[in-house]
Structure 1
Amino acid sequence: MTTNSVVLYTHLTQNPSPAPVKGKTFGVRPAPSTRRYISVAQKFWISQTGALVWVSLSVILSLPWLRDLSEVIGFVSAILVITFIAYVPGYLVAFLAVSLLVDRQPPFKVSDPDLPITILIAARNEAPNIVMTLQYIANQNYRGPISVVLVDNGSTDGTADVALAKARELKLNLLCLREESPGKNFALNAGLAKIVTPYFITLDADTLLHRFAVKHIVARLLSSPPDVGAVAGHVLVRNSRDNFLTRIQEWDYFLGIASIKRTQGLYQGTLVAQGAFSLYKTEAVRQVSGWPDTIGEDIVLTWKLQQAGYRVYFEPTAVAFTAVPKVVRHFVRQRSRWARGMVEGMKNVPPWYQPSYLKKFLTGIDLVIPVIDLFYTLVWIPGLILACFGKYYIVGPYTLFVLPLNIGVSLIMYTYQLRVFGQLDLRVRKNRLGFFAYVLIYQLISSPVSLWGYVQELFQTRRVWR
């Protein structure tokens, strides 16, 4: 990767209606490859084999580290420490890397859909953001009719009035509802009751749709088997230039979250059809009784859909840009809420309740994530501090062995994202500082925050809407 290539996308807000580039065809995939077909099951076992080979190599190379650490904390404790800060994370990253290499997104069978679509927005005090969100909805390159259901969840800043005025200006079909019960699930369920189209999109009030977002996400669902109940969109950061914290999050969305969703989509079990931007079959959501009263309502809904026999896909060319927290307090609140939502998903729909081994495996990974976060927070971070003083018991040369693998995954995903951006006529922009901070220190931030979310769920502390 050259220094000029460590860049990210330009703000979509600079051009709300990007004109198609001469010679480019949007919404149409290249002709299918003549390569030998590899089934999803075969890809899964290829990835498992690659991950196990990596772990085996890691075990062999870590034997001196195990010996040295055993002399300090004992053999059993040393095994536990190395397992959850090296072996298990290494296995998961290796599985991710091989999965990304073998993945081939199938072409659209329906490339230019025209079915009516409803966009459902739950909003609370979003008057400053809702105008631009509606503007980008109105600018969609989509042949079918688009209507909007906005549910005002107890706003005090005139969100509904601002939205109605903007909708009249844009000639946008907008239905505005009022839901006083605090909680995003109540707002979404109130809107669900009013939806009359067979498909609908959930969209956060501060999230901007790329011009081809609706077209591509609907095309993916219509090109999929009938048991696909939802498609998660590709959410990226639009305010990365605000400060250092948003710069790091830009890479997390661009590489980390996107690579995980792409891998889960490959195995037909995307674990979160995120409320920020996803497409659902209306009858499927109603079949599982809509969004539950949980802090991670979109996570639990997705797992309930999978338990009911539906598959959940991910469409990388259906892009939306969201505003991420730029204050540490808000970042901690958001990511701890995500961690709580993951635990709620496992409590409501345990992995062993999932109908296929692929979904059991994907959801089962979440059982070990809290343990990894625990060891990173309480063992690895203190070990890093000790290493600064020349004590390499926990963090030392052997722990750096996984770093090339992390960089490799980033390079694979970066190359893939460039292809996606090329199809959408999105340019990339520089963010070197955010990249190196993401690779080197992001885990130091995210693991303690996630651990705090698990503690909150354990003690059932008060939930907040945002």
Structure 2
Amino acid sequence: MLFYHMFLMQGGYWYSMHYRKKERELERLKTPMPRVSILIPAHNEEVVIGDTLEAMSNLNYPSERLEVIVINDNSNDLTGEIAEKYAQKYTFIKVIHTKPPNGGKGKSGALNNGLRMSTGDIICVYDADNCPEPDAIYWLALALVNDRKAGAIVGKFRVVNANKNLLTRLINVETLTFQWLAQAGRWFWFKMATIPGTNFAIRRSILEELGGWDEKALSEDTELSFRVYNLGYYIRFFPSAVTWEQEPESIKVWWRQRTRWARGNIYVIVKFILGFHKLKSRRIGIDLLYFLFTYLLFFGGVLISHAIFIINLFIDLNLSIGLVSYLLLIIGFLLFVTEGILSISMEKGQLTKKNFLAIIFMYFSYSQMWLFLVIYASFLEIKRVLFRQEVKWYKTKRFEQTAIPKDKTA
């Protein structure tokens, strides 16, 4: 897996050196801008929704071709009131208030409600804690309308509270690695990327053909990606479109958010493996194989390795560490650190001593936490299936918003 990640990282690095050419190509086309609907699902987001809508009001996109829809999904705080104030000030901002039984079911349900009320040919999605840079929608829409083979265009997200504490610094490294390794690398080599939960554009016609978002999926973005592939489209990663988002500032919030992600990915793996024989696009097999290696073989192998180590502390298993084992341990560590350094080096101001030390610390701490998290998420999913439990959506807790760094990238 680590060698495969290095392969992806090489592709991500090469892509980072050349994607600006695409910007110049798109601008030379002078394409008329399509009508865009931005969906913002919001449940109890009073802490951040004002900053998000302020960012929407500053977008460099023709207001007559823009529609921002806030889905106030069964909130019991001031989310609705704050959103309505912006709707009164800007004609292109609208607010939908949903209540049970149609509302309060989670992000997928809120997005489906917003889709039914939208009018744009292109649908963009942003989480309620996101502050897209002014040109974000411009690049997403321009890239999608000029690429018939693309079913969706996904942008880049940066961590607005990266320097808040050690946890957010580690998450910042994780997100940069994910984007320049998994997103950019897979796009460079395989013309594949995964739709994230925010900062992406998708054709309305595709969503209507697919019947919208799967309301049973906790990782609605990954699940949607697989169905877009199955229609014969690819998903382009285009880092010119940038948004800034907030990440968990406490272990408790991180654990609950990441557990939802892991459970959602496990759901997607099972869903598409069971129905693999019905799939039209075998491209999906590449991503399914990657998820299988990650959640079963990779995490399983590490778990067995840890178990043997712990057992050997109490019971002599007559094991000896040979030269090959030492080499593999050292190579694994160096590959991990190299991937992290390459990732942060692609972003202005991120290649610092603190981030370098964070990557080393990450190998022994943050990465190990993921192991136990996946075990816990797997247990919850198995229990849900066996006892036919209803899927419950956990909304990530928000914190007071942090100002966007001055050295932001475009």
So what's the TM-score if we normalise by structure 1?
0.71
Question: Where does residue 335 of structure 2 map in the other structure?
Answer: 405
CA shift for structure 1 position 209:
0.5
Compared with structure 1, are the counterparts of its residues 393 and 458 closer, same or farther at alpha carbon in structure 2 (3 Å cutoff)? Answer: farther
Compared with structure 1, are the counterparts of its residues 398 and 346 closer, same or farther at alpha carbon in structure 2 (3 Å cutoff)? Answer: closer
Does the aligned pair in 2 maintain the 1:151–1:187 contact within 8 Å? yes
Does the aligned pair in 2 maintain the 1:164–1:176 contact within 8 Å? no
Compared with structure 1, are the counterparts of its residues 373 and 135 closer, same or farther at alpha carbon in structure 2 (3 Å cutoff)? Answer: same
2:162 equivalent among 232, 237, 240: 240
Does the aligned pair in 1 maintain the 2:71–2:114 contact within 8 Å? yes
CA shift for structure 1 position 288:
0.5
Letter in 2 for 1:297: E
Question: Where does residue 43 of structure 2 map in the other structure?
Answer: 124
Compared with structure 1, are the counterparts of its residues 316 and 192 closer, same or farther at alpha carbon in structure 2 (3 Å cutoff)? Answer: same
Q: In the aligned structure 1, how far is the partner of 2:257 from the partner of 2:48?
A: 18
Question: Where does residue 403 of structure 2 map in the other structure?
Answer: none
Does the aligned pair in 2 maintain the 1:167–1:174 contact within 8 Å? yes
Q: Does 1:136 align with 2:48?
A: no
Q: In the aligned structure 2, how far is the partner of 1:338 from the partner of 1:195?
A: 27
CA shift for structure 1 position 179:
4.2
Q: In the aligned structure 2, how far is the partner of 1:99 from the partner of 1:110?
A: 22
Compared with structure 1, are the counterparts of its residues 92 and 402 closer, same or farther at alpha carbon in structure 2 (3 Å cutoff)? Answer: same
Alignment of 1:47-446 (within 5 A): 89-100=1-12, 103=15, 104-105=18-19, 107-108=22-23, 109-111=25-27, 114-143=33-62, 145-170=65-90, 172-180=92-100, 181=103, 182-224=105-147, 226-266=148-188, 267-270=190-193, 272-293=194-215, 294-350=217-273, 354-371=279-296, 372-380=298-306, 383=309, 393=321, 396-415=326-345, 417-418=346-347, 428=350, 430=352, 431-432=354-355, 433-446=357-370
Q: In the aligned structure 2, how far is the partner of 1:382 from the partner of 1:327?
A: 31
Q: Secondary structure at the match of 1:342?
A: helix
Letter in 1 for 2:26: V
**Gapped runs of 5+ residues in structure 2?**
314-318, 396-410
Does the aligned pair in 2 maintain the 1:149–1:191 contact within 8 Å? yes
Compared with structure 1, are the counterparts of its residues 280 and 392 closer, same or farther at alpha carbon in structure 2 (3 Å cutoff)? Answer: farther
Letter in 1 for 2:206: A
Percent identity reads 19
CA shift for structure 1 position 305:
1.3
Aligned residues: 367
Q: In the aligned structure 1, how far is the partner of 2:159 from the partner of 2:307?
A: 28
Does the aligned pair in 1 maintain the 2:124–2:199 contact within 8 Å? yes
Q: In the aligned structure 2, how far is the partner of 1:148 from the partner of 1:201?
A: 9
Does the aligned pair in 2 maintain the 1:127–1:162 contact within 8 Å? yes
So what's the TM-score if we normalise by structure 2?
0.81
Q: Secondary structure at the match of 2:163?
A: coil
Compared with structure 1, are the counterparts of its residues 159 and 381 closer, same or farther at alpha carbon in structure 2 (3 Å cutoff)? Answer: farther
Question: Where does residue 3 of structure 1 map in the other structure?
Answer: none
Letter in 2 for 1:116: R
Q: Secondary structure at the match of 2:22?
A: coil
Question: Where does residue 464 of structure 1 map in the other structure?
Answer: 393
Q: In the aligned structure 1, how far is the partner of 2:39 from the partner of 2:327?
A: 51
Compared with structure 1, are the counterparts of its residues 131 and 381 closer, same or farther at alpha carbon in structure 2 (3 Å cutoff)? Answer: farther
**Gapped runs of 5+ residues in structure 1?**
1-88, 422-426
CA shift for structure 1 position 300:
1.1
1:85-109 deviations in whole A, cap 9, x for unaligned? Answer: xxxx234223323433554546144
Letter in 2 for 1:110: L
Letter in 2 for 1:379: S
Q: In the aligned structure 2, how far is the partner of 1:169 from the partner of 1:435?
A: 45
